[in-house]
Amino acid sequence: MTEFEQLFNLDDVPPSWRHCFLDQCPRCAQCLRYQTGQRLADGDTAGLSIFPTVLRLAACPYFKQIRIVELAYGFKPLFAEVKQKDFTPLHAELMGYIGSKTSYYRYDWGENMLTPEQQQDILSIFARYGYTDGLRFEHYRRHIDYSN
């Protein structure tokens, strides 16, 4: 069983996701949209999909390479070695990056997960304050990347 097959859960597929059913596409085996289309539940009878007219194009603009990413959540270990003088401005900058106090706590508690790109941005914020050694988020989880 592949890692994709182990991780795939239909509940993780965003409701606005476009599925593909075009067996004749030469890239269908590597396309996440095709793979999700093949795994729909029996009760799923309608939704967003890619039309066969896309096959007339030189390249499918909806192709989404299957990508497994390591998502993260939880900030406690990041702040473990932060000096008291840096805590408030660092915490404020992190909240500003994330967008709000509510969003911050959703990422801290695991309701939302940080993408690899967001993780790198956050580690860069800590680096600007001089914190670079052994930085880790509290939890990590491998996940299929459904981002656009």
Mean pLDDT of the chain: 96
Give 104-130 pLDDT, tens digit per residue: 999 999 999 999 999 999 999 999 999
User: Does 47 share its domain with 73?
Assistant: no
Structural domain includes residue 61: no
The residue among 74, 80, 93 whose CA lies nearest residue 133 is: 80
User: Does 76 share its domain with 34?
Assistant: no
User: Does 87 share its domain with 47?
Assistant: no
Structural domain includes residue 52: yes
What residue numbers bound the domain in which 36 lies?
3-56
Distance separating alpha carbons of residues 56 and 75, to the nearest angstrom? 48
Report in angstroms the alpha-carbon separations of 139 from 75, 102, 118: 9, 19, 14
Structural domain includes residue 62: no
The pTM of the full predicted model, rounded to 2 decimals, is 0.79
Give 52-111 pLDDT, tens digit per residue: 999 999 999 999 999 999 999 999 999 999 999 999 999 999 999 999 999 999 999 999
Distance separating alpha carbons of residues 85 and 68, to the nearest angstrom? 38
Model confidence at 147, in pLDDT bands (50, 70, 90)? Answer: confident
Contact 143, 12 (CB under 8 A): yes
Give 65-76 pLDDT, tens digit per residue: 999 999 999 999
Count up the domains in the chain and report the number: 2
The residue among 59, 64, 58 whose CA lies nearest residue 20 is: 64
pLDDT of 148 over the 90 cut = no
User: Does 108 share its domain with 133?
Assistant: yes
User: Does 43 share its domain with 82?
Assistant: no
User: Does 85 share its domain with 22?
Assistant: no
